[in-house]
Amino acid sequence: MMSAYNREGRAQRSISLAIWFEGRLVGQISMGGIIFGALRGAHIGYWIDQAYSNRGLTTQAVDLLTEYGFSSLLLHRIEINLRPENAASRKVAEKAGYHLEGERPRYLHIDGQWRDHLCFVRENPRIS
């Protein structure tokens, strides 16, 4: 798995990072689907151990990875797609400055079914 993460990172297709707190692995954040050219976009996904939620760690990780995507990769647009019932993830997206763009019916196949998602977006203010 680690070699796949490294290979994808070197090819600038995806970036997967661990979230650490006080020396403990407590979560993960990834920027995937990195596309250059006319789109210049990506999507961010994340998870955090429930024992470490509501501490701002995930929001901080989203802020940092978003800034990397905008300043270093010069991406125009980054999305966070989340399940409508995931209030905690929605709170993270909104606190990180992402705005609701719309719904994506049957967007991802999860746990044996196609699941609806909400799409939150940020655009790079430095790119017009």
Parent domain of 115: 2-123
Nearest Cα residue to 46 out of 5, 93, 8: 93
Would you say residue 60 has pLDDT above 80? yes
Q: What's the mean pLDDT in 18-25?
A: 97
- Which of the residue ranges 5-14, 15-24, 91-100 would you say has the lowest mean pLDDT? 5-14
The model's pLDDT over 62-83, given as tens digits with 9 standing for 90+, comes to 999 999 999 999 999 999 999 9
Q: Is residue 128 part of a domain?
A: no
Angle at 85 between CA 90 and CA 50, to 5 degrees: 70
CB atoms within 10 A of CB 76: 19
What is the pLDDT, as a whole number, of residue 3? 77
For the chain, the domain total comes to: 1
Q: Is residue 33 part of a domain?
A: yes
CATH code for the domain in which residue 25 is found? 3.40.630.30
Q: Is residue 84 part of a domain?
A: yes
What is the pLDDT, as a whole number, of residue 70? 98
Q: Is residue 19 part of a domain?
A: yes
For the chain, helix (H) and strand (E) counts, in that order, are 3, 6
What backbone torsions phi and psi does residue 94 show, to the nearest 5 degrees? -65, -40
Q: What is the pTM of this model?
A: 0.91
Q: Is residue 85 part of a domain?
A: yes
